[in-house]
């Protein structure tokens, strides 16, 4: 059975938005020395918006956005919502298929259009300007028309303003932070610099995130914080899995040991402080 002091501590944590699922999770929480953080939605607002469009000769920005949006209107990816919102008009697409972690392809007005990561699609003559946008922290997707690069679309997802303070407070608690992301390395490093995070693992596939968590856990007791849905395997592989922004009905709560009702990363150092003091009282 769970000691009453632990029950009380778990109850107190729930009042500041930290739901701890069990007494065992509470006790393990107090031993955490490292935190791995998913970038999109956890460090960022998850409100991506198109902030730059580069085009090849003879292609207009509006054309490029409409070709891309014709495909993206079929996708639920956060980048897709940004691109659809930026397109001036709607066009129909046929034979649309999405490749998870890479991009999307289909036929628009008789031409084969592909939209996806610069790892998946070459940027051709746009490559050096694409790198420039990534260095400014934008995620860039490349647009191909019949196999030729015709545009690059830069999407910005702002860092949550409370993140740098949370990272500094964790450092003061001797808790290290690693950023995990499927996004490209240049974008990831630009955002990490603003967040105050030195250790960045970018261009990860979902299974690579799990491998990274296992590696970090061997060195120090590690918590993983993510939005819970596509991060479920990584949350499960961590010593403590934390789902952020969970609501009561969420599947995220199921795969995590701890759930935060809000998106404020400062809840992590606050909850550590609480759990460490709780352990001290118990032991
Ligand atoms: P994250 O780890 O940031 O959630 P994903 O694994 O979902 O990233 O996707 C990795 C990359 O694949 C994205 O940054 C993007 O370049 C590309 N990508 C994935 N889905 C799409 C899509 N629907 N449209 C365009 N690009 C996409
Ligand atoms: Mg993600």
The predicted-structure confidence for 249-279, as pLDDT tens digits, reads as follows 566 677 789 999 889 999 999 999 988 887 6
- Every domain range in the chain assigned CATH 3.40.1110.10: 49-156
Section 59-86 average pLDDT: 96
Whole-angstrom Cα Rg for the chain: 21
CA pair distance 181, 201, nearest whole angstrom: 6
124 lines ligand 1 (CB under 6 A): no
Ligand 1 atom 7, closest CA: 101
- 100 alpha carbon – ligand 2 mean position (Å): 11
Our answer to whether residue 38 is catalytic in this structure is: yes
Residue 109 has pLDDT above 90, yes or no: yes
**Residue 248 structure tokens:** 């009561």
5 HSE (CA, 13 A, CB side) = 11
CA pair distance 268, 35, nearest whole angstrom: 9
Could you please state the CATH topology (level 3) that the domain comprising 4-45+160-282 is classified under.
Rossmann fold (3.40.50)
For the whole model, what pTM was predicted? 0.87
Residue 283 has pLDDT above 60, yes or no: no
- 116 alpha carbon – ligand 1 mean position (Å): 7
User: For 49-156, which CATH superfamily applies?
Assistant: Calcium-transporting ATPase, cytoplasmic domain N (3.40.1110.10)
Looking from the CA of residue 75, the nearest atom of ligand 1 is 23
Q: Are 152 and 64 in contact (CB under 8 A)?
A: no
143 lines ligand 1 (CB under 6 A): no
75 lines ligand 1 (CB under 6 A): yes
Probe residue for ligand 1, chosen from 48, 118, 151, 183 as the CB with the greatest number of ligand atoms within 8 Å: 183
**Residue 201 structure tokens:** 């693992």
Task: State the maximum Cα–Cα separation within the chain, in Å, rounded to a whole number.
Answer: 71
- Every domain range in the chain assigned CATH 3.40.50.1000: 4-45+160-282
98 lines ligand 1 (CB under 6 A): yes
CA pair distance 276, 221, nearest whole angstrom: 14
**Residue 98 structure tokens:** 């999405």
Supply the mean pLDDT for the chain. Answer: 92
Q: Write down the pLDDT at residue 252.
A: 62
Q: Can you list the positions of beta strands (E) in 24-69?
A: 34-38, 49-55
- 5 alpha carbon – ligand 2 mean position (Å): 37
User: Which DSSP letter does residue 250 get?
Assistant: -
77 lines ligand 1 (CB under 6 A): yes
């Amino acid at each position: 059975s769970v000691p009453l002091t632990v029950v009380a501590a778990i109850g107190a944590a729930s009042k500041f938005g930290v739901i701890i699922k069990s007494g065992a999770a509470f006790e393990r929480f107090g031993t955490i020395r490292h935190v791995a953080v998913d970038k999109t939605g956890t460090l960022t607002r998850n409100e991506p918006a198109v902030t730059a469009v580069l085009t090849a000769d003879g292609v207009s920005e509006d054309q490029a956005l409409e070709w891309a949006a014709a495909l993206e209107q079929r996708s639920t990816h956060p980048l897709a919502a940004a691109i659809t919102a930026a397109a001036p008009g709607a066009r129909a697409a046929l034979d649309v298929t999405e490749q998870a972690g890479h991009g999307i392809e289909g036929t628009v007005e008789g031409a084969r259009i592909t939209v996806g990561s610069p790892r998946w699609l070459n940027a051709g003559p746009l490559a050096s300007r694409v790198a420039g946008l990534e260095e400014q922290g934008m995620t860039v997707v490349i647009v191909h028309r019949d196999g030729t690069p015709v545009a690059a679309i830069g999407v910005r997802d702002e860092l949550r303003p409370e993140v740098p303070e949370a990272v500094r407070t964790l450092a003061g608690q001797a808790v290290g932070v690693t950023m995990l992301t499927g996004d490209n390395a240049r974008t990831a490093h630009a955002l990490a610099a603003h967040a105050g995070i030195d250790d960045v693992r970018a261009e990860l596939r979902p299974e690579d995130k799990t491998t990274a968590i296992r590696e970090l856990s061997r060195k120090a007791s590690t918590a993983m914080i993510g939005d819970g849905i596509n991060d479920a395997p990584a949350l499960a592989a961590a010593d403590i899995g934390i789902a952020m922004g969970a609501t009561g009905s969420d599947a995220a709560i199921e795969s995590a040991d701890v759930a935060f009702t809000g998106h404020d990363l400062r809840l992590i150092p606050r909850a550590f402080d609480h759990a460490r003091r709780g352990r001290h009282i118990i032991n």
